[in-house]
Amino acid sequence: MANSKLDPTVPPGLHLVSAFLAMEPTDCLISMARACGGLVTERVQRFIWDYCISEAVGKGNAPYLKNFIKKLIFEIESSHSTVLEELYEQYGYYMTSLKDDISAKVNTRVCKCISFLFPHGCSGSPSCPVSRKLMVSLYCSLNMLEGDTGCAVWPSSLYLSEFVLSFPHIFSGKTCFEVGCGVGLVGICLSHVKASKVILSDGDLSTLANMKLNLELNQLRADTGKPERSVQDLNMVTYSKQAKAEMDNKSQVNCIHLPWESATKNELQEFMPEIVLGADIIYDPACLPYLVQALALLLNTKKECSDSQTVKYSCQGSFIHCNCINVEANDIDDGEASIACDLDGSKADQIGCQIDIGGVDGLQNGSANNGVKQGPVAYIASVIRNIETFSYFVQLAEQANLAIADITETQRPLELLPYMQSYDRSTQRTLFKNLSEMGGQTQGEVEVIHSWSAPRSLSTSIMYSFAQRDDMEVLDEPLYATFLKVTGAERPYRDEVLSKMESDPNKVVNEVIFGPGEKKYRFCKHIAKQRLPGLPNDLMKKGKHFILIRNPLDILPSFRKVVPPSFLELGLAELVSIYSDLSQMGKPPAVVDAADLQQDPEGTLRGLCKDLEIPFDDAMLRWEAGPKPIDGVWAPWWYKSVHQSTGFNQARKYPQPFPFSLYDLLEKSIPLYNMLRRHVRQMTGLLKSPLPPPDIPIPANEKLLAWVGDEILPRESAKVSVFDSVVQGGDSVWEGLRVYNRKIFKLDEHLDRLFDSAKALAFKNVPTREEVKKAIFITLIRNGMFDNAHIRLSLTRGKKVTSGMSPAFNLYGCTLIVLPEWKPPVYDNSHGITLVTATTRRNSPNNLDSKIHHNNLLNNILAKIEGNNADAGDAIMLDKDGYVSETNATNIFLVKKGRVLTPHADYCLPGITRATVMDLVVKEGFVLEERRISLSEFHTADEVWTTGTMGELTPVVKIDGREIGDGQVGPVTQRLQNAYKGLTEESGVPIPSYQQEEFE
Ligand SMILES: Cc1ncc(COP(=O)(O)O)c(C=O)c1O
Is the separation of the CB atoms in 867 and 928 below 8 Å?
A: no
Burial code (b: 16+ CB inside 10 Å, e: under 16) for 156-186 equals: bbbbbbbbbbbbbbbbbbbbbbbbbbbbbbb
Q: Is 200 left (phi over 0), alpha (psi -120 to 50) or beta?
A: beta
Residue 798 alpha carbon to ligand 1 centre in Å: 23
pLDDT band at 442 (very low <50, low <70, confident <90, very high): very low
pLDDT above 90 as % of the chain? 60
pLDDT at res. 97 = 82
Nearest-atom index, ligand 1, CA of 850: 1
Q: Collapsing DSSP states into helix, strand and coil, what is residue 235?
A: coil
Give the Å distance between the CA of 889 and the centre of ligand 1. Answer: 6
- How remote is the CA of residue 12 from the centroid of ligand 1, in Å? 81
One-letter amino acid of 559: F
Q: Return the ligand 1 atom nearest residue 915 CA.
A: 9
**Alpha helices (runs of H) in 815-970, residue ranges in sequence order:** 858-869, 912-923, 935-939
CA atoms within 13 A on the CB side of 58: 2
In angstroms, rounded to a whole number, what is the distance separating the alpha carbons of residues 32 and 21?
A: 13
The predicted-structure confidence for 932-947, as pLDDT tens digits, reads as follows: 999 999 999 999 999 9
Which ligand 1 atom is the nearest neighbour of the CA of 916?
9
CB 557 within 8 A of CB 492: no
Q: Can you point out the beta strands (E) in 14-88?
A: none
Predicted local distance difference test score (pLDDT) of residue 965: 97
Sign of CA pseudo-dihedral 684, 685, 690, 692 = negative
d(CA 104, CA 612): 63
**Span from the CA of 771 to the centroid of ligand 1 (angstroms):** 24
Burial of 912 (0-12, 13-18, 19+ CB in 10 A): buried
- Closest atom, ligand 1, to C-alpha of 949: 11
3-state secondary structure (DSSP) of residue 215: helix
Tell me what pLDDT residue 240 has. Answer: 45
Which atom from ligand 1 is nearest to the alpha carbon of 886? Answer: 3
Ligand 1 atom having least distance to the Cα of 750: 10
The atom number, within ligand 1, closest to the CA of 909 reads 3
CA dist., res. 528 & res. 540, Å (int): 12
Q: What angle do CA 290, 378, 222 make, to 5 degrees?
A: 85
Residue 885 CA to ligand 1 center (angstroms) comes to: 12
In the predicted model, what is the mean pLDDT of residues 278-287? 88
pLDDT mean over 291-309? 63
Helix orientation angle between 769-783 and 747-760, rounded to the nearest 10 degrees: 130
The pick from 909, 945, 950, 952 for probing ligand 1's pocket by mutation, whose C-beta has the most ligand atoms within 8 angstroms, reads 909
CB-defined site of ligand 1, < 6 Å: 736, 860, 886, 889-891, 909, 911-914, 947-949
Nearest to 887 by CA among 951, 792, 943, 808: 951
How distant is the alpha carbon of residue 757 from its chain centre? 54
State in Å: Cα 887 to ligand 1 middle: 9
Q: Is the pLDDT of residue 105 over 80?
A: no
* CA dist list (Å): 629 to 246, 415, 446: 29, 9, 20
Cα of 296 vs centre of ligand 1, distance in Å, is: 90
Separation of alpha carbons 749 and 793, rounded Å? 13
Q: Is 7 helix (H, G, I), strand (E, B) or coil?
A: coil
**Separation of CA 402 and ligand 1 centre (Å):** 84
- Segment 891-918 shows an average pLDDT of 97
Secondary structure of residue 973 in the 3-state scheme: helix
CB 118 within 8 A of CB 131: no
Q: Please state the rounded mean pLDDT for residues 855-883.
A: 97
Measured between its terminal Cα atoms, the distance across the chain in Å is 82
Is residue 899 within 8 A of residue 942, CB to CB? The reply is no
Q: What is the pLDDT of residue 689?
A: 64
d(CA 2, CA 395): 55
Q: Whose CA is nearest to atom 5 of ligand 1?
A: 890
Question: Which atom number of ligand 1 is nearest to the Cα of residue 860?
Answer: 1
In this predicted structure, the answer to whether residue 923 has a pLDDT above a threshold of 70 is yes
* Structure confidence at residue 178 (pLDDT): 95
Q: How confident is the model at residue 365 (pLDDT cuts 50, 70, 90)?
A: very low
**Within 13 Å and on the Cβ side, how many CA atoms surround 29?**
27
pLDDT (average), residues 109-123: 87
Distance 647 CA to ligand 1 centre (A): 58
3-class secondary-structure state, position 216: helix
The pLDDT, as a whole number, for residue 262 is: 81
Question: Which H helix or E strand runs over 705?
Answer: strand 705-708
Q: Ligand 1 centre and the CA of 910: distance in Å?
A: 8
Closest CA relative to residue 888, chosen from 923, 912, 859: 859
* Residues in contact with 268: Cβ distance below 8 Å, sequence separation at least 6, in sequence order: 294, 297, 298
Residue nearest to atom 2 of ligand 1 (CA): 889
CA distance 811 to 816: 15
Selection from 101, 72, 64 nearest residue 88 by Cα: 72
Residue whose CB lies within 8 A of the most ligand 1 atoms, among 734, 747, 890, for a mutation test: 890
pLDDT digits (tens, 9 = 90+) for 228-260: 333 333 333 333 455 445 545 566 788 888 888
Residue 895 alpha carbon to ligand 1 centre in Å: 20
Question: Tell me, what's the pLDDT at 125?
Answer: 79
- If pLDDT is split at 50, 70 and 90, which confidence band does 685 have? low
Beta-carbon count within 10 A of 64 CB: 20
Query: What is the CA(961)–ligand 1 centre distance, in A?
Result: 24
| Nearest alpha carbon to residue 475 among 325, 372, 357, 606 | 357
Rounded average pLDDT over 653-670 = 92
CA distance 322 to 273: 11
Question: Across the chain, what does the average pLDDT equal?
Answer: 84
The span from the CA of 259 to the CA of 280, in Å, is 16
Which atom of ligand 1 is the closest one to the Cα of 912?
Answer: 10
Residue nearest (by alpha carbon) to ligand 1 atom 15: 889
**Ligand 1 center to 754 CA (angstroms):** 12
Confidence of residue 145 (pLDDT cuts 50, 70, 90): low
pLDDT for res 231: 31
Taking CA 842 as the corner, what is the angle to CA 841 and CA 848, rounded to the nearest 5 degrees? 125
For 693-730, b/e burial (b = at least 16 CB within 10 A) is eeeeeeeebeebbbbbbeebeeeeebebbebbbbbbbe
Residue with the nearest Cα to atom 7 of ligand 1?
A: 911
pLDDT digits (tens, 9 = 90+) for 543-577: 999 999 999 999 998 888 777 889 988 999 999 99
Q: What is the mean pLDDT of residues 178-202?
A: 92
596 and 682 Cβ atoms separated by less than 8 Å: yes
Residue 298: predicted pLDDT: 86
What's the angle, vertex CA 460, arms to CA 457 and CA 466, rounded to 5? 120
pLDDT confidence of residue 35: 81
pLDDT > 80? residue 433: no
Q: Is the pLDDT of residue 992 over 90?
A: yes
What's the pLDDT at 3?
A: 55
Q: Contact at 8 Å (CB) between 165 and 134?
A: yes
Work out which ligand 1 atom sits closest to the CA atom of 734: 14
Atom 1 of ligand 1 has which residue's CA nearest to it? Answer: 889
Among candidate residues 82, 88, 207, the one with its CA nearest the CA of residue 149: 207
Minimum mean pLDDT among 121-135, 729-743, 966-980: which range? 121-135
- Strand, coil or helix: what is 54? helix
Q: What is the DSSP string of 711-742?
A: EEEEGGG----TTBHHHHH--EEEEEEEEETT
Model pLDDT, residue 683: 61
The span from the CA of 666 to the CA of 663, in Å, is 5
Judge whether residue 354 has pLDDT over 50.
no
- CB burial class (10 A; 0-12, 13-18, 19+) of residue 5? exposed
Question: Measured in angstroms, how far is the CA atom of residue 832 from the centroid of ligand 1?
Answer: 18
DSSP 739-779: EETTEETTHHHHHHHHHHHHHHTT--SPPPHHHHHHHHHHH
Q: What is the pLDDT of residues 478-528, one digit of tens each?
A: 999 999 999 999 899 999 999 989 999 999 999 999 988 888 999 999 999
Ligand 1 nearest-atom number relative to CA 913 = 9
Identify the band that residue 223 occupies on the pLDDT scale cut at 50, 70 and 90. Answer: low
Helices (H), 312-378: none
pLDDT at residue 828 above 90? yes
**Helix axis angle, 62-78 relative to 85-97, nearest 10°?**
130
For residue range 865-875, what is the model confidence (pLDDT) as tens digits? 999 999 999 99
Q: Which amino acid is located at 516 in the chain?
A: P
Distance of CA 890 from the midpoint of ligand 1 (Å): 5
For residue 463, the model assigns a pLDDT of 97
Cα angle for residues 120, 122, 128 (degrees, 5° grid): 115
- Residue with the smallest CA separation from ligand 1 atom 6 is 948
Output the DSSP codes for 805-823.
S-GGG--S--EEEEEEEE-
pLDDT of the residue at 98: 74
Radius of gyration in angstroms for the set of CA atoms belonging to the chain, rounded to a whole number: 42
* 318 compared with 643, residue with greater pLDDT: 643
pLDDT of residue 338: 23
Ligand 1 atom index nearest CA of 753: 10
Q: Is the pLDDT of residue 373 over 70?
A: no
pLDDT band for position 147 (50/70/90)?
Answer: low
Probe residue for ligand 1, chosen from 949, 950, 952, 953 as the CB with the greatest number of ligand atoms within 8 Å: 949
Give the pLDDT confidence score for residue 337 in this predicted structure: 24
Reported as a single tens digit per residue, the pLDDT across 42-83 is: 889 999 999 999 988 887 788 889 989 999 999 889 888 899
Atom of ligand 1 nearest to the CA of 735: 14
Instruction: Name the closest-CA residue to atom 3, ligand 1.
Output: 890
Distance 485 CA to ligand 1 centre (A): 66
For residue 321, list its beta bridge partners.
312
Dist. CA 865–CA 889, nearest whole Å? 12
Question: Do β-strands 472-476 and 544-549 pair in parallel, antiparallel, or remain unpaired?
Answer: unpaired
pLDDT digits (tens, 9 = 90+) for 569-612: 899 999 999 999 999 999 999 999 999 999 999 999 999 999 99
Per DSSP, 436 falls in state: P
Q: How far apart are CA 353 and CA 435, in angstroms?
A: 8
In this structure, the number of other CB atoms found within 10 A of the CB of residue 297 comes to 22
Confidence band (pLDDT; 50, 70, 90) for 778?
very high
Partnered with residue 894 across adjacent β-strands are 901, 944
Write down the pLDDT at residue 250.
Answer: 64
**What is the rounded average pLDDT of the residues 448-471?**
96
Query: Which segment, 228-242, 316-330, 340-354, 735-749, is predicted with the most confidence on average?
Result: 735-749
pLDDT band, residue 639 (cuts 50/70/90): very high
Q: Which H/E stretch holds residue 953?
A: strand 952-959
Q: Would the pLDDT of 364 be above 70?
A: no
Query: Are the CB atoms for 831 and 784 separated by under 8 Å?
Result: no
Interstrand relation of 175-179 and 275-279 (parallel, antiparallel or unpaired): parallel
pLDDT on residue 404 = 81
Rounded distance between C-alpha atoms, residue 64 and residue 67, angstroms: 5
